[in-house]
Amino acid sequence: MRTSGIIAVDAMGGDHAPAEIVAGACRAHAEGIPVVLVGREAEIRPLLPRRNAPPIQHAPDAVGMGDSAVASVRRSESSSLRVAMRMVADHRADAVVSCGNTGAVLVAAVFDLGVIEGVERPAIGTVLPRADGGRLFLLDAGANVDCRPEQLVTFGILGSAWAEANGVRSPRVGLLSNGEEDGKGNTQVRATLPLLRESGLAVVGNVEPSAAMEGACDVLVTDGFVGNVLLKAAEGAVTTVVQLLKQEIRRYPTGILGAWLLRGAFRRFRERVAWDAHGGAVLLGTRGLVVVGHGRANANAVYQAVRLAHRTLSADLVHGLVRRFEGDVRDDAPADAG
């Protein structure tokens, strides 16, 4: 039943598919991470290196990036995305990496991998850089726009295991709120906090977004609507800051020289805050590992996404979650190979 950590890469998903996807996957493959490229063989073949090329699993169809992607995923069983998912379901691979439409990836994962018993719906987990140098594990970043308190507690359990799989010991779990005292928050938050405190997790209580980014918790739990707003607000603020700083630098001749002297610092800074540097989002709660890269992913972002999948497989995240929710690993569970 065990394979050896093979990662099925959806070569047709993403704005720059297949060229950038194939390039990134080949780089990871060259470094020893076993990869299978899933998609139209005639389009992928010419993009491969002569030596040490990863194998191709042919899939005739591709899911678009637009809003009809979810509908198209339901229709088409022969799309690269669903073929990649079924490779994991059939134990021919251990994880899927796709830079396709996130909603489509989620639907395909639920269809073909299934959801861990006790997890109503999977969540999307995303990592944000923190001001104290740590990482903030945020979920749900967009899968479930309306959540009941019980779902948020499940997200806490999923997120805690996910942070542990990333090397965080006894992750501190915070509930996203607009104030830190118990009793703050909207109806949803006030109903969730008491349940979360009973979960046995290391719950620090309500946490404001700014405090979370400064290190008040490791795991930040919220519904997919608010989590997505938080993520895009942080991205928008960073874009605005960089834009305004550029404008100010251009006003002064010394500014241009200063910026030139700082070019190394700016480059390293970009590498640290760039979302692609973290490899992308992880589906949490599916019976198999799925990493969702950014839709605009270039080769480097794809490479990072494959590396993220590889690291997460090594940490045995999915098996751990299956054991936690279902008591033991069922034989039919397509989970990571560890």
Among 65, 204, 273, 299, binds its own copies (CB under 8 A): 273
Is 213 a residue that touches its own copies (CB under 8 A)? yes
Cβ pair 255, 249 in contact under 8 A: yes
Instruction: Report the alpha-carbon distance of residue 36 to residue 3 in Å, rounded.
Output: 13
Q: Which is nearer to its own copies, 257 or 329 (CB)?
A: 257
Q: Which is nearer to its own copies, 161 or 226 (CB)?
A: 226
Q: Which is nearer to its own copies, 52 or 240 (CB)?
A: 240
Q: Which is nearer to its own copies, 37 or 105 (CB)?
A: 105
Q: Across-strand partners of 95?
A: 7, 289
Among 167, 200, 251, 331, binds its own copies (CB under 8 A): 251
Among 5, 209, 279, 293, binds its own copies (CB under 8 A): 209
State the number of binding residues for its own copies (CB under 8 A).
Answer: 65
Inter-CA distances, 262 with 249, 250, 257, 267, 304, Å: 11, 14, 9, 9, 26
At 140 the three-state DSSP class reads: coil
Return contacts of 270-278, CB within 8 angstroms, 24+ apart: 272/129, 273/129, 273/238, 275/235, 276/300, 276/301, 276/304, 277/304, 278/126, 278/127, 278/129, 278/135, 278/304, 278/308
Least distance CB 135 / its own copies (angstroms) = 11
Among 5, 14, 39, 129, binds its own copies (CB under 8 A): 129
Is 71 a residue that touches its own copies (CB under 8 A)? no
162-181 positions binding its own copies, by CB under 8 A: 176, 178, 181
Span interacting with its own copies, options 18-26, 193-201, 223-231, 302-310, rule CB under 8 A: 223-231
Q: Which is nearer to its own copies, 244 or 329 (CB)?
A: 244
Instruction: Report the alpha-carbon distance of residue 240 to residue 235 in Å, rounded.
Output: 9
Angle at the Cα of 39 (from 106 to 44), degrees rounded to 5? Answer: 140
- Binding region for its own copies (CB under 8 A): 67, 129-131, 133, 142, 145-146, 176, 178, 181, 185-187, 189, 208-214, 222-226, 228-245, 247-249, 251-252, 254-255, 257-262, 264-266, 268-269, 272-273
